[in-house]
Amino acid sequence: MNLTPESKVIIQGFGEFISATHIAQMKAYGTNLVAGVDPGCGGQEIYGLPVFDLVEEVVEKFGVIDTTIICVHPYQVLDAALEAIASGISQIIIISAGVPPLDMVQLLRKAEAVETLVVGPNSPGIIVPGKILLGTQPSEFYTPGSVGIVSRSSTLTYEVAWELTKAGLGQSISVSIGSDAIVGSSFLQWLQILDEDESTEAIVLVGQPGGGSEETAARYIAETIDKPVIAYIAGRQAPPRNTWRQTGTLVTVVGRPLNFGTAQSKIAAFEAAEVPVAERPSLIPELLKKAIN
């Protein structure tokens, strides 16, 4: 990964998922935004960025691009991402929500073949506090430190960061992996990244109902992760067997336990892995301090 202030970043698309405020915030944070890509708008300037018709035109002018932030219509995400991969971009952050699952399957097969990291869809992106902001996370909630955050949620990601900041616990990296039906990078990938990251001393994992990714993460933590981990699972009071469209639950029965995908199932998995689970975000700092000590 290349998550430094020198990383060259572009934005593909200027749709409903990103605004002038988000772009101004990234620039103010020191993110090296070099250009935007919007077919048919080449030669213009949007939100203070020079705009090109094609990603390859940006590469010709600025050299290798490290990260693209994709904000196009969900049905255009696959084309935009494949164009980025073809131009040698190794980190893709998809802000757009509602990307068709089969499009994501096709994208992830291609990304895996060329070792491209995909974050999202339906993600506010990544922030390395004090260094770089990639996406729409509100940077004012963060402060540099040693706690890594990996989350399926959007707003809960920075709510947890704010609770940590108020408690004097700074953050090393914060990433929302996204909450569409199928997302790129997983809890497991980011747990490994944070476990190997020298600036990260402890990890907060934020999950929510739907699917089985938290249960898988709990087993992985028990078997592999050496650093302290605290979990928080949203939706404790969610009605059972309801499908959360936001989290992309594709099936709720057919060979699954009755509590599959529920908050209770996820909490039980973390407790079995001896990972402390906070009842609410405000309790995370207290559990984290105990785990670190």
> What three-state secondary structure class fits 53?
coil
Structure tokens belonging to residue 31: 């993110």
Q: Is the dihedral of CA 173, 188, 196, 270 positive or negative?
A: positive
- Chain centroid to CA 126: 6
Query: What is the CA 242 to chain-centroid distance, rounded?
Result: 25
Query: Is residue 133 domain-resident?
Result: no
Q: 10 Å Cβ neighbour count for 283?
A: 15
Q: Does residue 187 sit in the same domain as residue 218?
A: yes
Q: Is residue 126 part of a domain?
A: no
pTM: 0.93
- Do 56 and 147 fall within a single domain? no
User: Which residue has tokens 């704010």?
Assistant: 162
In this structure, which amino acid lies at residue 229? V
Q: Indicate whether 145 and 288 sit together in one domain.
A: yes
Q: Which helix (H) or strand (E) holds 290?
A: helix 284-292
Asked whether residue 209 is assigned to any structural domain, the reply reads yes
Residues 82, 144, single domain; the answer is no
Describe the chain by its helix, strand, coil percentages, rounded to 5.
35, 20, 45
What are the structure tokens assigned to 223, written together? 């078997």
Beta strand 202-207 pairing with 229-233: parallel
Q: CATH number of the domain that 25 lies in?
A: 3.40.50.720
Contact 130, 120 (CB under 8 A): no
Tens place of pLDDT for every residue, the chain, 293 residues? 789 999 999 999 998 889 999 999 999 999 999 999 999 999 999 999 999 999 999 999 999 999 999 999 999 999 999 999 999 999 999 999 999 999 999 999 999 999 999 999 999 999 999 999 999 999 999 999 999 999 999 999 999 999 999 999 999 999 999 989 899 999 999 999 999 999 999 999 999 998 899 999 999 999 999 999 999 999 887 776 554 445 444 444 455 667 778 999 999 999 999 999 999 999 999 999 999 98
- Angle, helix 77-86 to helix 101-113, in steps of 10 degrees: 10
Total of domains in the chain = 2
Contact 229, 273 (CB under 8 A): no
